[in-house]
Amino acid sequence: MTVLIAYASKHGSTEGIAVAIADALTARGLQAECIEATRVHSLEPYDAVILGSAVYMRRWRPEARRFLRRHAHALAARPFWVFSSGPVGDPAHDNPAWSEPRTIGKALDLGAREHKVFGGVARGALARNLPAQWLDRRDWDEIHAWAESIAAGLRVPA
pLDDT score, position 11: 87
Q: Give the β-pairing of 80-85 and 59-60.
A: unpaired
Does residue 126 form part of some domain? yes
d(CA 15, CA 143): 12
How many CB atoms are closer than 10 A to CB 142?
12
Residue 157's pLDDT is: 53
Evaluate if residue 63 carries a pLDDT over 80: yes
Asked whether residue 58 is assigned to any structural domain, the reply reads: yes
How far apart CA 147 and CA 111 sit, in angstroms, is 18
Assess contact for 20 and 144: CB atoms under 8 A: yes
Nearest CA to 53 out of 62, 45, 44 is that of 62
Q: Which comes out higher in pLDDT, residue 125 or 150?
A: 150
Length of the chain: 158
Q: Is residue 158 part of a domain?
A: no
User: Residue 7: which CATH number?
Assistant: 3.40.50.360
Q: What is the pLDDT of residues 9-24, one digit of tens each?
A: 998 899 999 999 999 9
pLDDT at 99: 62
Residue 151 to residue 26: CA distance in whole angstroms:
9
Measure the N-to-C terminal CA separation of the chain; round to a whole number of Å: 14
- Mean pLDDT of the chain, nearest integer: 89
User: Is position 25 within any domain?
Assistant: yes
Count of structural domains within the chain = 1
| 116 domain residue, yes or no | yes
Q: What is the pLDDT of residue 129?
A: 78
Question: Quick check: is 98 in a domain?
Answer: yes
The pLDDT tens digits for 67-107 are 999 999 999 999 999 999 987 766 777 766 666 667 788 88
Residue 78, C-beta contacts closer than 8 angstroms, at least 6 positions apart: 43, 46, 47, 48, 49
The predicted structure's pLDDT at residue 134: 72
* Domain that includes residue 80, residue range: 2-153
Residue ranges of E strands in 10-157: 31-36, 48-56, 59-60, 80-85, 115-118
- What value does the mean pLDDT take over residues 42-49? 98
